Amino acid sequence: MKKKNPRLLALRALEDILRRDRRPKDVLGSCGALLDSRDRAFLHELVYGVIRNMLYIDWCLSAYLKDPAGLKPSTLNNLRLGAYQALFMRVPDRAVVFETTEVEKAAGRNTALVNAVLRRFVTAKTSPPLPEDPAERLSVLTSHPRWLVSRWIGRFGLAEAEALARANNETPPLTLRVNILRTDRERVAGRLSAMGIAFGYTDISPVGIKIRGDYVFEEIEGMLGDVFIQDEAAQLITYLLQPRAGEAILDACAAPGGKTTHIAELTGDRARVYAVDSSAERMKMLEENVRRHGLGSVRTVCADMEEFRPPEGFHRILLDAPCSSLGVIRRNPDVRYRHSPEALGRFHEKQVRMLTAAGRHLLPGGILLYSVCSTEPEEGEEVIRSFLHKEREFFIIDDAERSPSTPCTDAPAAERLKGLMNKEGYFRTYPHRHDMDGFFAVRLSRRRR
């Protein structure tokens, strides 16, 4: 069987991601299966590296291309792959030119142009002067759209906006959540140590482990069920919900099941957990994760949240709403190119509708937790203001006696959890501040009549 060329696979992967709107994880999961572990790592580095640095790469290439817009997308993506290897990887210049030209030949495209451009590029290794405008300059340097960078500068200032953008371009740790119904963090840590995998415990979540060193994913995959791959910020969302045994609990946008399984585990698998999602395909993933974790308290319902009619009211409701995902750019770098300011307005309207629909099912005195993996206020604070303006019987839980029970036993960690919530009761995390994904959450309740 002929060995697959990871550079050619990387080109095809970029085509699927940038032109066919597929997600890097899905694309690489299928084509990476054809490679050994070394070539698979090389493939991932190429694809994620180009996406994370695409605007900067294009800026550098612009000095060597008369009409970049006139190139076929496949040729431009191949040049990006070559430029990334020359700029960011320890690939010899001759190999960059030769291998990229060979990929172009295999793709049946403009071999002469690719060879000529890359020869000049690796010889000169210069780029055009960067823009003087601070937002435009930061946009190019960190490969984030100018509109997004401009917003962050306006909210955080230039220095912190740059810190956030650069954190988005760092490879994040693989974070595990331990299934406490099957094992504990110390035993999982022992297994990782035995495999020679470097790790550390999460700062706040008592069931989180961050993988810091090199690992073979198949080794981690063999632990699924005892662990779930989930960022620490997402783990903390479930602790904010405070799920308890014996309660009726709704996970309103549940697939693929990270928070659903965590809810069931924290209740000792002794609650009535309704997991609702509108996607039949994603619901299959949720059901598989529930089965893998050995949970019996979860009832799955494939339905649109706005049309869901449950058999009972709920003591706790989690609405982890569909959003722009701008808080998880470091894990899904293509997200930065998929949205516009107008898209945030559309997400806002949908989120308010879904929150209103979920709120109808909350029992008086219960907790409705709204969360999104977004850094943007249109999807966070502004959604809550719009909702509370219309739904006057709801309020934000922010008083001391109703604060979330601490998921930690040590006082410093408890204080750090409180530090993630402001005086208005809003929970926020950021990659550059907390080494977590960017999440927003708020706990709401319904007044007793």
Say how far apart CA 240 and CA 282 lie, in whole Å: 25
Neighbours of 36 (CB within 10 A): 11
290/392 same-domain check? yes
50/160 same-domain check? no
Query: 111, 104 in Cβ contact below 8 A?
Result: yes
The pair of three-digit structure tokens given for residue 372, joined into one six-digit string: 């999104």
3-state secondary structure of 332: coil
pLDDT (tens place) for every residue of the chain, 449 residues total: 467 899 999 999 999 999 888 999 889 888 877 788 889 999 999 999 999 999 999 999 999 998 888 899 999 999 999 999 999 999 999 999 999 999 999 987 789 999 999 999 999 877 889 999 999 999 999 999 999 999 999 999 999 999 999 999 999 999 999 999 999 999 999 999 999 999 999 999 999 999 987 887 888 999 999 999 999 999 999 999 999 999 999 999 999 999 999 999 999 999 999 999 999 999 999 999 999 999 999 999 999 998 999 999 999 999 999 999 999 999 999 999 999 999 999 999 999 999 999 999 999 999 999 999 999 999 999 999 999 999 999 999 974 344 454 454 456 666 777 889 999 999 999 999 999 999 999 999 999 87
Domain containing 365 — which CATH number? 3.40.50.150
Q: Indicate whether 220 belongs to any domain.
A: no
393/346 same-domain check? yes
70/156 same-domain check? no
244/393 same-domain check? yes
The active-site residue out of 60, 253, 323, 373 is 373
Q: Indicate whether 209 belongs to any domain.
A: no
Say how far apart CA 371 and CA 41 lie, in whole Å: 33
Angle between helices 24-31 and 6-19 (to 10 degrees): 150
What residue spans of 203-340 are helical by DSSP H?
Answer: 217-221, 232-241, 258-266, 280-292
Q: Which of 113, 145, 168 is the last residue of a domain?
A: 168
Q: Indicate whether 437 belongs to any domain.
A: yes
Query: 112, 103 in Cβ contact below 8 A?
Result: no
Q: Indicate whether 106 belongs to any domain.
A: yes
pTM: 0.93
387/430 same-domain check? yes
Domain containing 52 — which CATH number? 1.10.940.10
97/156 same-domain check? no
Is cis: bond before 73, omega within 30 of 0?
no
Q: Judge whether 60 counts as a catalytic residue.
A: no
Domain count, the chain: 3
Residue 223 CB partners (closer than 8 Å, separation 6+): 176, 188, 191
Nearest C-alpha neighbor of 277 from the set 287, 269, 288: 287
DSSP characters over 52-106: HTHHHHHHHHGGG-S-GGGS-HHHHHHHHHHHHHHHHS---HHHHHHHHHHHHHH
Q: Indicate whether 386 belongs to any domain.
A: yes
315/441 same-domain check? yes
Range(s) of the domain holding residue 159: 137-168
The pair of three-digit structure tokens given for residue 11, joined into one six-digit string: 């080109």
**Residues 402-426: b if buried by 16+ CB within 10 A, e if exposed:** ebbebbbeeeebeeebeebbeeebb
155/38 same-domain check? no
> For 211-232, what is each residue's pLDDT tens digit?
987 887 888 999 999 999 999 9
412/436 same-domain check? yes
141/103 same-domain check? no
Residue 193 CB partners (closer than 8 Å, separation 6+): none
159/267 same-domain check? no
